[in-house]
Amino acid sequence: MSAAARPRFSVVIPAYDEEPNIRPLAQRIADTFARMGVQDWEIVFVENGSRDGSLRLLEELHAADPRVKYLSLSRNFGHSGAVCCGFDHAGGEHVVLMDGDQQDPPELIAQFWDKMQREALDVVYGVRARREREPWLKRLGMKLFYRIWRRTAYVHVPLDAGNFCLMKRGVVDAICSMRERGRFVPGLRAFVGFRQDGIPFERPPRGGGQAKTSFAILTGIALEGLLAFSVFPLRLLMLLGAGAMAFSVVVSAVLLVLRALFYLGVLDSVPGFTWNSVFMILMAGAQMLGIGVIGEYVGRVYQEVKQRPIYVVRTRGL
């Protein structure tokens, strides 16, 4: 797309079974741009294999206003696949990424834009300052994840910064140039660099429908973020292995001394059989854990070398 034909803003929204939220979210975005005095905008909904009436509703919205566009994927390719699809087809000079459940307030786009202009930034992201409406276990898990990720990742990552953000065209192009399958968006956004800063906000509850991110899905996303931007688990295994070797040497020396004292008649018996058995079981468990961690990395290499498409578009309205 030529620079002259580009809209000023694109809003990319992955949507899976979000029929109750699509229409009100599109209206809120349109109202936000109207207050900003912006007319050349587009919304790119990525319908991610939904089972409800999302596609039919998107077709209606597109027919009523061509600026509301959609891509319907052939199946659910995950949140990251839908985001990749949206980025590939977003033509705006500036691109907003937000979720389709109305938990990312579109009214914040104006604040993102003001901050970007005022501070000459390339990326402005939302920082989830409060999560009181979410279950305590999820809040605890997310806090731990971001802090562990920040300590172990080889790129600087901001705390509690989710997907919701406003990016300049160059940032989006840099992210699109990386065609890896494990696409953890906050990590990719941090990796490309540029001038970035955040705005804290309180994330509201869902506008409608049911939450799609179960504990298992969130765990998978967390593992993807940790393994895609860090080799810390492998280094930890190496350190544990070195520590186990050193510990084994010390234990072996102690047992040799005890056995020598037994032969000299100083001791009546040599202790340690039960303790040694427990130690061997622990070491076997540690080895299995290590094989699992290495398997996670190898599995990701396997996924990359197959070079399958990140997503498949079934139908579109652009």
The pLDDT value given to residue 151: 74
Same domain, 217 and 286: no
Share of the chain above pLDDT 90, in %: 36
pLDDT range class, residue 303, cuts 50, 70, 90 = confident
Same domain, 128 and 248: no
Share of the chain above pLDDT 70, in %: 87
The pLDDT value given to residue 155: 76
The pLDDT value given to residue 212: 65
Same domain, 128 and 12: yes
Same domain, 57 and 132: yes
Is 122's pLDDT higher than 60?
yes
The pLDDT value given to residue 215: 65
Please give the angle made by the CA atoms of 234, 235 and 237, to the nearest 5 degrees: 65
Q: What is the CATH number of the domain that holds 15?
A: 3.90.550.10
185-225 pLDDT per residue, tens: 888 888 888 899 888 888 887 777 677 666 666 677 677 77
Same domain, 169 and 89: yes
pLDDT range class, residue 5, cuts 50, 70, 90 = confident
3-state secondary structure the chain: CCHHHCCCEEEEEEECCCHHHHHHHHHHHHHHHHHHCCCCEEEEEEECCCCCCHHHHHHHHHHHCCCEEEEEECCCCHHHHHHHHHHHHCCCCEEEECCCCCCCCCCHHHHHHHHHHHHCCCEEEEEEEECCCCCHHHHHHHHHHHHHHHHHCCCCCCCCEEEEEEEEHHHHHHHHCCCCCCCCHHHHHHHCCCCEEEEEEECCCCCCCCCCCCHHHHHHHHHHHHHHCCCHHHHHHHHHHHHHHHHHHHHHHHHHHHHHHHHCCCCCCCCCHHHHHHHHHHHHHHHHHHHHHHHHHHHHHHHHHHCCCCCCEEEEEC
Chain-wide mean pLDDT for the chain? 83
Q: What is the average per-residue pLDDT within 85-111?
A: 92
Question: Distance between terminal CA atoms of the chain?
Answer: 13
Is 70's pLDDT higher than 90?
yes
Is 239's pLDDT higher than 60?
yes
Same domain, 60 and 72: yes
Q: Which domain holds residue 255?
A: 232-306
140-160 pLDDT per residue, tens: 777 777 777 777 777 777 777
Same domain, 96 and 118: yes
pLDDT higher at 237 or 19: 19
Same domain, 140 and 47: yes
In the chain, the number of structural domains is 2
The pLDDT value given to residue 13: 94
Residue 62, strand partner residues: none
pLDDT range class, residue 114, cuts 50, 70, 90 = very high
Same domain, 163 and 252: no
Same domain, 78 and 172: yes
Q: What is the pTM of this model?
A: 0.76
pLDDT higher at 122 or 279: 122
Is 267's pLDDT higher than 70?
no
17-47 pLDDT per residue, tens: 898 999 999 999 999 999 999 999 999 999 9
Same domain, 209 and 295: no
Sign of CA dihedral 192, 196, 197, 203: negative
Same domain, 141 and 8: yes
Using alpha carbons, select from 116, 110, 112 the residue that is nearest to residue 32: 110
